[in-house]
Structure 1
Amino acid sequence: MHTVAVLAFDDISPFHLSVPTLVFGRVGAGGAAPYAVRVCAERPGTLRTPAGFDITVEHGLEAFETADTVVIPSWLSGEGVSAELCAALRAAHTRGARIVGLCLGAWAVAASGLVDGREITTHWAAAPDLALAYPAVLVRADTLWSDLGDVVTSAGVAAALDCCLHLVRSDLGSRAATELARALVTAPHRSGSQAQYIPVAVPDDADDDAIERAMVWARTHLGDPVDLDSWSRIALMSRRTFTRRFRERTGSSPQQWLLHQRTDRARLLLESTDETVDHIAAATGFTTAVSLRHHFHRILGTSPAAHRAQFRTPDRRCLRSAKLPP
């Protein structure tokens, strides 16, 4: 059984704490449970929360010593990270545990020194301060989550849910993650970046959103050539105005957004079908398998073949026997 240790602390948000405990605790509900979740704290006992109730935690940092995955679900802005916690994180990592920092939990991960010279993600609003506090760490504010293999970090609360589902998908396969997401009534995979959630201009009339109309049209024509002039005409705008308005709305250029949509569609087809890479490339607008491989690796950090092998025949943690409720 894969053991997950989740750290709690005084004034932790119960919502942040519930994300990893719900996701990993829900897998196998009604059947064989592949994960054993254990909540721990630096100082076990009664912990305050800002939600009007306290929580009681029985386990201390010794839970890290046997955990396969260690999760820091959040952190308090401006709070330091104790030498004891940093040492426990480093020891768990050295032993081979996967370290996960969700949302502001990336602060504790950065403080441990495990990601010096490496790239992590945190909530977009906290990214500048985190980068300033730990200049040896490369902080990304434009991704929902980042998986380095041994260290995984995510953006805010909703992205933390995405990240935990990603870990389930890595451990148990795409079908397990999809079924769990269905039980939780959430998307099994959400593409895009934090730029979608950074405050941007909102159209006055939501029922007549030209950019949204153009986005919907593009999603239904991913397999077709989509040139910027034709696309801007769907929105009844000039090419220049369309490009500016699109960036204001999404935080990226139309071409970048379209490329990510095509990559995400290819990812889904690789996970859910047996179609060849050539066929998937044609169906998603990449035209050739060479182009698909190039962009897939650039955006997702792996090849289409490796991604399909990972999610169709998962054996990373030997958790093949997981069962999910219908």
Structure 2
Amino acid sequence: MAQRTVLVVLFDDVQSLDVTGPMEVFAGAEKHTPGAYRVRTASLTGRPLRTSSGLTVVPDGTLADAPAPHTLLVPGGQGTRRPAPHLVDWVRAHGPGAERLVSVCTGAILLAEAGLLDGRRATTHWAYCESFARDHPAVRVEADPIYVRDGHVATSAGVTCGIDLALALVEDDLGRDAALAVARHLVVFLRRPGNQAQFSAQLAAQTARREPLRDVQQWITEHPGADLSVDALAARARLSPRHFARAFRAETGATPGRYVDRVRLEHARRLLEDTPDGVEEISRASGYGTPEAMRRAFVKALGTSPAEYRRRFRTAPAR
């Protein structure tokens, strides 16, 4: 088995977890399968640098002297918003030579600045997706997934998503058992699929300030198949339907109906991903009532049917 060199690019104001998260995954895989990976870090100068959290990191050496990588990994952080021109030049010159090009969080911005994402699908931290798409119109930015793979190029969303992507790469390289062993050691999920949303429905909305409304949010999450009409939810909050709808939107940023739609869609996606249950059973459990109602919701939100969604998920290489 050929050893894969993973080269992590470092720069001032890099996000430390973008660096250490994937490095821990690859280092753990090396312990599980000796000879699988050689992980190295490098910067323009090779001198110690400070991460965005204030942690000082000492690179293994300079980018000029770095070994030709199998996997070139570019982390994110504040430093990607004002990258040194020489760093962009180095990535532009050496990125195409890597067998696998990977970014974590806003590291995708650096890849885009180097022209390596033109015409490709990519993602980054949710907070920067809009500006990323505006500044780099040649990149097809996908704001929802936690990571996106387009050929030999893989980009991940914010911070901890780099761990998910690294585990997916280890699973590709060494198999599920190796990735599972690393995930267990790090006490993380083996596989959050790349098409999983960056935000759950609860995180996508604000948390209500008032306790009755927070309780209703929790009830919706725990009972997606229940009667979640405005009247029923208002009664649970002990408010009039009109008052409830107005207060819920003011405190969460979403109408009750929109919030319920998000929760039900997320619940149905998880059941399609993680269970063998049939579409009819899942449609009832998720509150859609009929397979046709769930199909319409999936087509509207995701552009695909539940059956096709499950097929794509279970055949995707990102597993």
- Normalised by the size of structure 2, how large is the TM-score? 0.70
* Pairs within 5 Å for 1:65-76: 67=70, 69-75=71-77, 76=79
Matched to 1:85, the amino acid is V
What is the CA distance between 1:109 and its match in structure 2?
A: 2.2
| Counterpart contact for 1:6–1:73, Cα < 8 Å | no
> Is residue 39 from structure 1 mapped to residue 7 from structure 2 by the alignment?
no
Whole-angstrom CA distance in 2 between matches of 1:58 and 1:241: 62
* Pairs within 5 Å for 1:235-246: 235-246=237-248
1:98-120 C-alpha deviation (Å, 9 max, x unpaired): x3322221211222334335554
| Counterpart contact for 2:73–2:102, Cα < 8 Å | yes
Cα pair distance change 1:10/1:101, threshold 3 Å: closer
Whole-angstrom CA distance in 1 between matches of 2:288 and 2:238: 26
Cα pair distance change 1:202/1:213, threshold 3 Å: closer
Whole-angstrom CA distance in 1 between matches of 2:283 and 2:175: 22
Larger Rg computed on CA atoms: 2
Aligned length: 302
Q: Secondary structure at the match of 2:106?
A: helix
> Is residue 264 from structure 1 mapped to residue 266 from structure 2 by the alignment?
yes
| Counterpart contact for 1:13–1:49, Cα < 8 Å | no
Whole-angstrom CA distance in 1 between matches of 2:177 and 2:251: 33
Whole-angstrom CA distance in 1 between matches of 2:276 and 2:135: 47
Matched to 1:149, the amino acid is D
Match of 1:54 in 2: 57
Whole-angstrom CA distance in 1 between matches of 2:240 and 2:36: 53
What is the CA distance between 1:217 and its match in structure 2?
A: 0.9
Match of 1:231 in 2: 233
Percent of paired sites with the same residue: 27
Q: Secondary structure at the match of 1:264?
A: helix
Cα pair distance change 1:35/1:191, threshold 3 Å: farther
Match of 1:299 in 2: 302
Match of 1:322 in 2: none
Larger deviation: 191-200 or 211-220?
Answer: 191-200
Cα pair distance change 1:285/1:227, threshold 3 Å: same
> Is residue 78 from structure 1 mapped to residue 82 from structure 2 by the alignment?
yes
Cα pair distance change 1:277/1:64, threshold 3 Å: farther
What is the CA distance between 1:61 and its match in structure 2?
A: 7.5
Aligned Cα RMSD in Å? 4.3
Whole-angstrom CA distance in 1 between matches of 2:171 and 2:213: 32
What is the CA distance between 1:9 and its match in structure 2?
A: 1.8
> Is residue 193 from structure 1 mapped to residue 212 from structure 2 by the alignment?
no
1:52-101 C-alpha deviation (Å, 9 max, x unpaired): 5331325848978552x542111412124522312322343xx5x3x332
Match of 2:96 in 1: 90
- Normalised by the size of structure 1, how large is the TM-score? 0.69
What is the CA distance between 1:180 and its match in structure 2?
A: 5.5
What is the CA distance between 1:242 and its match in structure 2?
A: 4.1
Q: Secondary structure at the match of 2:233?
A: helix
Cα pair distance change 1:178/1:132, threshold 3 Å: same
Matched to 2:314, the amino acid is R
Instruction: Provide structure 2 residue ranges, at least 5 long, that are not aligned to the other structure.
Output: none
Matched to 1:305, the amino acid is R
Matched to 2:287, the amino acid is G
Whole-angstrom CA distance in 1 between matches of 2:202 and 2:275: 29
Match of 1:8 in 2: 9
| Counterpart contact for 2:49–2:56, Cα < 8 Å | yes
Q: Which has the higher contact order (CA 8 A, sep 6+)?
A: 1
Match of 1:218 in 2: 220
Match of 1:209 in 2: 211
1:17-43 C-alpha deviation (Å, 9 max, x unpaired): 1121123433586x4479625234354
Whole-angstrom CA distance in 2 between matches of 1:295 and 1:62: 53
